[in-house]
Amino acid sequence: MWFQRRSHSVSSRVFIQGMMAGFGFARVFTGPIRAHYERAYKRVRRLARIVFLLDAALMIVVVCLALLIVSLVIRPVSAPDIDVQFDTPDIAAAAPTPVTIRLRSTSDDSHSFVRLRWRLPSGVQILDASAPFDAQGLISVGELPAHGERVIHAVIRAFHPEGSPLTFSFYVETSDRAWGTRIYGADAIRVVRGSAVTVDLPEGADVPCASREGAVLPLRIRNITAQMIPSVELRPLEASSSTLERIVLGNISPHETRFVFVPIVASADGLAHLDWELFATSRSLQTGSWSVQTVDWNEGDIESPLIAQPDVPAEVRVRHVAASSSLLAVLPSSDELFFAPILSSASSIELPSSGFASSTHQRWMTAIVSDRDGKMCLGPATFGVFRSVFPFRQRIQYTSESGDQIGAGPIPFVVGEETRMWVLWHIGPIDSALQSIHVSARLPNGVTATGNVMAPDGGSWKTADRIIEWNLPRMDTDAPEALFGFEIAVRPSEASSTMPLIGEAFVDGVDASTETMLRVRAPALGAEDIDK
């Protein structure tokens, strides 16, 4: 059987010629590579083919990395089409400051999966925010429509001294189909102006002259905000010649004012220097300094001790004082100093009440301010304390607190029939030991004492002549209360629901720590006050 060779078509011949040309073109490039292989590998290396393949693979990786870097560098990046704006009023140190962050789209396309990362400066904290923040300061905004806007409100607090620049950095991350993930950055710089917690000398205390011995400088520390300022302390600077030591004030409540009393100590040149620095959360907020000329003092003095009840005006006596002088007082209930003119060399001056319902062991300060050669001079300080009066009450009981009857006779009273009941005196609890305690009360007409008494805390008593007295040598703070009771009898001659049964009771005691006499009164009681 004869086979006839079929001729190739025109297209087949063109394809074959093209393939041959391609192989020839490849041989142009593979020729140098083959020559390099023969010269550098085959003749000098064992396993030349394996080493050559490894080197070739490494070279390909290097070339790919280089191309990737070049593509990233020369890749065209679109102009940012999200505008970030940061608005805030003046920032005061440690003060709550509202801020507003606006994300505005300037593109005709919407942005998906928008996230805002807010990097706060150190020492700045977020008190409140309209959107939740994670630990890295990332806020998920969601979708930002074309030419749309998202607004985030927050309240921050910066613990930096006045004049400090603060840089707030913002990074906006978006995920778009066309461009993938993009990051836009923006910075905002603000300067701290003012402080929410301040240290200063009140008006009248910043005098050019002070006593060489005993003078005290009242530093005023104020929180002018509605937020608590945490971990406040006052530290001396090295240049200070005063005896100021580190004073830890702790947390200062909203709108609270405190006074710190710093003794004035003169240096060798006769000047007293005071340099301080105020901290909150261990960050410096304010520094200050003050200096004064010291002199010898012979302008009178203040009688001590000074003890006042919290809700009663205090009385201060001065001696040997020039009539042109004034009395300076620093009371813990006031933000300002109290000044009263001294009208004679021996005067008694009444200070306003502190306004506290109760307050114990709180210090207050007084000093004489005298005119010396046309300059106001601050005299030695005399400190006072507040002592809360101790609790005292009297009551009438016909039945005990457990409901048992301890009296006898009809209740309500019946004309001509005797009814007996008990009067109880309660003292305490107390926060300072009392001694020489004396309690007394008078029985009204028609009421007599039976002579029966109850004295679990001891002491001595007298129930004669319708005057009831009880004396207790001492009462310490570990005793919850001191109790004394006595029985009274009444036989009414006429019907009345308001018959008086016991008059006002007075208790006098001496504060053991200050030897000050204190007096407390309990009101009179009648038939309507009986605990039935």
Task: Provide the CATH number for the domain around residue 312.
Answer: 2.60.40.1930
Q: Do 164 and 258 sit in the same domain of this protein?
A: no
Asked if the structure places residue 72 within a domain, the reply is no
Domain boundary among 267, 295, 323: 295
Are 183 and 302 part of one and the same domain? no
Q: Is residue 65 part of a domain?
A: no
Instruction: Name residues whose C-beta falls within 8 Å of residue 280's C-beta, 6 or more positions apart in sequence.
Output: 94, 159, 197, 229, 230, 231, 232, 233
CATH of the domain at 245: 2.60.40.10
Same domain, 216 and 125: no
**Predicted pLDDT of residue 501:** 93
Amino acid in the structure at residue 82? I
Q: What integer pLDDT is reported at residue 11 of this predicted model?
A: 54
Q: What are the tokens at 449?
A: 């004492």
Whether pTM exceeds 0.85: no
- The answer to whether residues 116 and 188 belong to one domain is yes
Q: Which residue has the tokens 């009140």?
A: 202
CA atoms within 13 A on the CB side of 422: 20
Q: Is the dihedral of CA 460, 462, 463, 466 positive or negative?
A: negative
> 425 with 509, same domain?
yes
The answer to whether 356 and 333 have CB atoms below 8 angstroms apart is yes
Domain C-terminal end among 238, 271, 295: 295
Residues in contact with 91: Cβ distance below 8 Å, sequence separation at least 6, in sequence order? 97, 156, 158, 166, 190, 191, 192, 193
Cα torsion 24, 25, 27, 29 to 10°: value is 170
Domain end position, chosen among 351, 372, 388: 388
150 with 229, same domain?
no
The pLDDT value given to residue 91: 92
Rounded CA separation 300/319 (Å): 6
Q: Residue 176's pLDDT is what?
A: 61
Confidence (pLDDT) at 478: 87
Residue 64 lies in a domain: no
Neighbour tally for 532: CB within 10 Å = 11
Q: If phi over 0 gives left and psi between -120 and 50 gives alpha, with beta otherwise, what is residue 282? A: left
Does 311 map to a domain?
Answer: yes
Q: The domain that contains 169 carries what CATH number?
A: 2.60.40.3670
d(CA 254, CA 229) in angstroms, rounded, equals 8
Distances (CA, A) of 441 to 97, 451, 501: 61, 15, 11
102 lies in a domain?
yes
In a domain, 11, yes or no: no
Number of domains in the chain: 5
Both tokens assigned to 308: 């006042």
Range of the structural domain that residue 101 is part of: 82-195
- Mean pLDDT per 10-residue run, the chain (532 residues)? 43 53 53 70 71 80 83 50 85 92 84 82 86 75 85 91 89 65 74 90 87 89 91 79 75 90 82 87 89 86 72 78 84 82 78 60 81 86 77 91 86 90 92 90 93 93 91 90 94 81 91 77 90 78
The domain that contains 525 carries what CATH number? Answer: 2.60.40.740
Q: Are residues 177 and 240 in the same domain?
A: no
Q: Are residues 130 and 224 in the same domain?
A: no
Q: CA 499, CA 490: separation in Å to the nearest integer?
A: 10
Within this chain, do residues 420 and 473 fall inside the same structural domain, yes or no? yes
Does residue 68 belong to any structural domain of this protein? no
